[in-house]
Amino acid sequence: MQDYDIVIGLEVHAELKTKSKVFCSCKNQFGSLPNTNCCPVCVGLPGALPILNKKAVELVIKAGLTIDSEINNLAVFERKNYFYPDLAKAYQISQLVRPICIGGHIDLKSRRVRINRIHLEEDAGKLVHSSQAIGTLIDYNRGGVPLMELVTEPDITSADEAVEFLTNLRQRYIFADVAECKMEQGGMRCDVNISVKPKGSNVLGERTEMKNLNSFKSVHRAITYEANRQIEILKNGGKITQETRKWDDNHGKSISMRKKETSQDYRYFPDPDLLAVEISHDEVETIRKTLPMMPEQLKERYIKEYGLSEYEANIITKDKAIVDYYNKAISLYKNPKIVANWLLTDILSKIKDEQDSQIKISPEDLARILTLLEQSKISRTVAKDIFAKVWQDSANVDQLAKSLGGFVDDDSLQNIVKNIVENNQKAVSDYHTSETPEKVFRWFVGQVMKETKGKANAQTAEKIIKELLK
């Protein structure tokens, strides 16, 4: 393997997060009953015509801006013609000559991966292989779902890099809120183009393509397998044939599907039913303004402005849901460091324990707990209790604060301390005479805590004790 360079290019499909499909007003929704999100347009009835969903174009522009693409001022839809039962019209509306986004890049740890383009197209339906008696059925719900296809330059050199790239890209799409990228629902799929060449050679080898890999794990396995397969062939003096191969995840190997000679001629041409899409500079700039910060930018901000450690910033920015939660919480309770602390130690550990990514306490409730704590209205112990109870049964924070013995307010605390001091005059004199008054002071604090069942705010209690012992 060390004697060869691996050259990888990816084509990544992601379903856009729109309410309706790309060329009709049917719902873009996963998991509906078969053929319920369908209309004359998306099942390709004769005479039906596509109407472009402008929102889909907007989202692709947004996706492009996250990877520094140029946005074409004129985008054109073309027909890609081929026959397959899941393709209702026998052509897919896609883009060839004038895609929405051109160029761009993503920087990995080891290198920059250049992006060739992102274009907008429609997804196909789905074949459902049923019993032998019924045969194969077609569900057109997915037909016409907006899909963006990103194509990289062949800049990726290993399976690890491919997965790093995909992870990074997925994060950007999710952060920009353009796609949900739910791999298990086919929301993000990947085609891998791969070739190998003798180390350092400038001549690219013949490539093979593996289509529709739907998990990062299978991308990694498929690349590893296919690179090894090609290298073995070359080592044995053989030749690689350009072909499309199918990755069989169950058996962990790739199988030849279609040779180059029999490859399809898609007969692309501009779709006469759709107008070319003009995209103005202003429009792009307006969209750019709506672009949220990407993980890298957020990390920098968290460290520089909020004083988080790199470790903390890294963990929070890994997941958009956590970032959204964190940002909301610190808008309500303005101490980012404390919020981060709770988020990492309390929330994330709970999530880990429960193996359920849902955060079961609202940022509002967390902020309320932290505020009560800061105002010394509850003790740290009570705060943790409330947190646990809210997490468990989403109870009301303020009611809990009261019912858990509530918080001991300053006046009550004053009285409690006063009583303890009055009833323990010996200790008072010990405090004034002892060589270790600190020890006696601690005893008083202990008494207060005992009396209040730990609900007193320690700091306030200490302040009052010091005051009364003077």
Partner 1 sequence: MKFEELSLLEIVDLLHSQKLSSVELTQYFIDRINDRKELNAVLEIYDDAIEQAKHADERIKNGFRGKLAGVPILIKDNILFKGKKASCASKFLENYVAQYNSTVVDKMLAEGAVILGRTNMDEFAMGSSTENSAYGNTLNAIDPMRVPGGSSGGSACAVRAGLCPVALGTDTGGSIRQPASYNGVVGIKPTYGRVSRYGVVAYASSIEQVGLFTKTVKDNAYMLSILSGGSQNDETSLKVEVPDYLAQIKGNIKGIKVGVLKEVSDAVKGLDVEKTYFDLIEFLKENGAEIVYTNMPHFALTLPCYYIIAPAEASSNLGRFDGIKYSRRSVTASNVDEIYVKSRSEGFGKEVKRRIMLGNFVLSSGYFDAYYNKAKKLQQKLKKEAEEVFKSCDVIILPTTTGEAFEIGSKTQDPIAMYKEDLFTILANILGVPALSVPCGKGSHGLPFGMQVLADCLKEGQVYNVADYIQRQYGR
242 touching partner 1, by CB under 8 A: no
Write the interaction track for partner 1 spanning residues 284-323; mark x where CB under 8 A is met and - where it is not. Answer: ----------------------------------------
Q: Contacting partner 1 (CB under 8 A), which of 1, 3, 19, 40?
A: 40
Q: Contacting partner 1 (CB under 8 A), which of 44, 292, 406, 454?
A: 44
Write the interaction track for partner 1 spanning residues 118-157; mark x where CB under 8 A is met and - where it is not. Answer: --------------------x-------------------
- The least CB distance from residue 40 to partner 1, in Å, is 5
Q: Contacting partner 1 (CB under 8 A), which of 1, 45, 74, 255?
A: 45
Residues 6+ apart with CB under 8 A from 389: 395, 400
Q: Contacting partner 1 (CB under 8 A), which of 73, 107, 269, 442?
A: 269
What's the CA gap between 223 and 245, in Å, rounded?
12
274 touching partner 1, by CB under 8 A: yes
Q: Hey, is 111 helix, strand or coil?
A: coil
- Crossing angle between the packed helical segments 458-469 and 425-433, to the nearest 10 degrees: 80
Residues 6+ apart with CB under 8 A from 391: 350, 360, 361
Residues 6+ apart with CB under 8 A from 433: none
Q: Contacting partner 1 (CB under 8 A), which of 1, 19, 51, 309?
A: 51
Would you put residue 438 in left (φ > 0), alpha (ψ -120 to 50) or beta?
Answer: alpha
- The least CB distance from residue 82 to partner 1, in Å, is 8
Helices (H), 87-148: none
Give the binding-site size for partner 1 (rule: CB under 8 A): 28
Residues 69-108 touching partner 1, rule: CB under 8 A, are 79, 81, 83, 85, 88-91
49 touching partner 1, by CB under 8 A: yes
Instruction: Using the minimum distance from each CB to partner 1, give the nearer residue, 260 or 352.
Output: 260
Residues 373-392 touching partner 1, rule: CB under 8 A, are none
What's the CA gap between 126 and 196, in Å, rounded?
34
- Residue 80 contacts residue 44 (beta carbons within 8 Å): no
Q: What is the DSSP letter of 215?
A: S
Q: Contacting partner 1 (CB under 8 A), which of 54, 112, 235, 267?
A: 267
Of 180, 176, 153, 141, which Cα lies nearest the Cα of 43? 141
What's the CA gap between 376 and 85, in Å, rounded?
67
- The least CB distance from residue 45 to partner 1, in Å, is 6
**Residue 350 structure tokens:** 């709970």
> Residue 50: how many CB atoms within 10 A of its CB?
20
Name the residues that contact partner 1, by CB under 8 A.
Answer: 40, 43-52, 79, 81, 83, 85, 88-91, 138, 265, 267-269, 272-275
